[in-house]
Amino acid sequence: GENVEQHPSTLSVQEGDSAVIKCTYSDSASNYFPWYKQELGKRPQLIIDIRSNVGEKKDQRIAVTLNKTAKHFSLHITETQPEDSAVYFCAASIRYSSASKIIFGSGTRLSIRP
């Protein structure tokens, strides 16, 4: 069945350093890969996404890369700041006729050390 694996489960980096979270997916029909940030007690918020026809996308300090052949995708956060501390979820989505089924990774708890 569909599966998304995410590593690491926890990540602690010094403020100003970079953080990298990696995911793999199993279903080759997946064609959309969103990343969500969830702060404690809050809703998951979409921070960046990438479609299957693109290899890389950047938005200010965050970037995502996608390797469809290897079924790998990654989130890169540069110049980390305290407000980046949260749980990050990768996901792989398959589009059906009128809905998208998103399979989430297990999450990475990112802590930024001052």
Partner 1 sequence: DTAVSQTPKYLVTQMGNDKSIKCEQNLGHDTMYWYKQDSKKFLKIMFSYNNKELIINETVPNRFSPKSPDKAHLNLHINSLELGDSAVYFCASSRYYEQYFGPGTRLTVT
Q: Which residues of this chain interact with partner 1, rule CB under 8 A?
A: 32, 34, 36, 38, 42-46, 49, 51, 87, 89, 93, 95-104, 106-107
Distance of closest approach, residue 22 Cβ to partner 1, in angstroms = 18
| Residue (61 or 95) nearer to partner 1, CB | 95
| Residue (43 or 114) nearer to partner 1, CB | 43
Distance of closest approach, residue 89 Cβ to partner 1, in angstroms = 6
Distance of closest approach, residue 94 Cβ to partner 1, in angstroms = 10
| Residue (10 or 14) nearer to partner 1, CB | 10
3-class SS string, the chain: CCCEEEECCEEEEECCCCEEEEEEECCCCCCEEEEEEECCCCCCEEEEEEECCCCEEEECCEEEEEECCCCEEEEEECCCCHHHCEEEEEEEEEECCCCEEEEECCCEEEEEEC
Report d(CA 61, CA 22) in Å as an integer: 17
Distance of closest approach, residue 114 Cβ to partner 1, in angstroms = 24
